[in-house]
Amino acid sequence: MIFSRNDGYPTDVGTASQLEDMLRHHGLRPTRQRLAVLAVLARERNDATAQGIYASLTRRGEHVGLATVYRTLAALNGCGVVDALMHNPGEVCYRLCGPGHHHHLVCDACHRVVELVDCDLDAWLAERAADHGFTVSGHTVEVSGTCADCRAIV
């Protein structure tokens, strides 16, 4: 799996030309700006806000308009390439994630994110929901905790 990561470390997320192919595959033109946003996401072990990504780009001298960052993230989220996390009120965090069903384990201290890929809650939830007359269309689990690195510091 070339475009997926399983923990937060900056693993191989594809060369520039592979990122281009991915964008094209989703009907998105591989522009300089989109590749730059993807590069920041690929380098980020934590989740990142639109504002934060914009700041990263500016810091590195890559000129990408803030509106473009927002539009790019919306497009990538629409394709399922990035996940949107809403643990903080008032802002959305984005993260380049694997394509399958998974949940997020987030470090309270450093915001590092790990994907939990094995989840078999469906049957259990469907049963509980049926007790209340609901049919289930989806679910998200967010687990908060402390990663090994941060625990070591304290």
Partner DNA sequence: TTTAGTGCAAAAGTTTTGCATGGTC
Partner DNA sequence: GACCATGCAAAACTTTTGCACTAAA
Q: Interface residues with DNA (CB under 7 A)?
A: 24, 28-34, 49-51, 63-68, 70-72, 74-75, 89-92
Write out the H or E segment, with its range, that includes residue 105.
strand 103-107
Neighbours of 152 (CB within 10 A): 8
Q: Is 154 in the site for a copy of itself (CB under 8 A)?
A: no
Gap between the Cα atoms of 121 and 95, Å rounded? 23
Site track for a copy of itself across 17-56, x = CB under 8 A: ----------------------------------------
From 14-22, 33-41, 51-59, 83-91, give the range in contact with a copy of itself by CB under 8 A.
83-91
Gap between the Cα atoms of 102 and 78, Å rounded? 17
Gap between the Cα atoms of 67 and 71, Å rounded? 6
Minimum gap (Å) between residue 32 Cβ and a copy of itself: 27
Neighbours of 75 (CB within 10 A): 17
Can you tell me which of 29, 59, 90, 123 binds a copy of itself, judged by CB under 8 A? 90
From 9-17, 18-26, 31-39, 123-131, give the range in contact with a copy of itself by CB under 8 A.
123-131
Closer by beta carbon to DNA, 18 or else 51: 51
Cα angle at 115 between 69 and 6, to 5 degrees?
85
What tokens appear for 15 in the block?
A: 């060369």
What tokens appear for 31 in the block?
A: 């522009």
**Which residues are at the interface with a copy of itself (CB under 8 A)?**
7, 84, 86-87, 89-90, 92, 105, 107-108, 114, 116, 118, 121, 125, 128-129, 132-148, 151
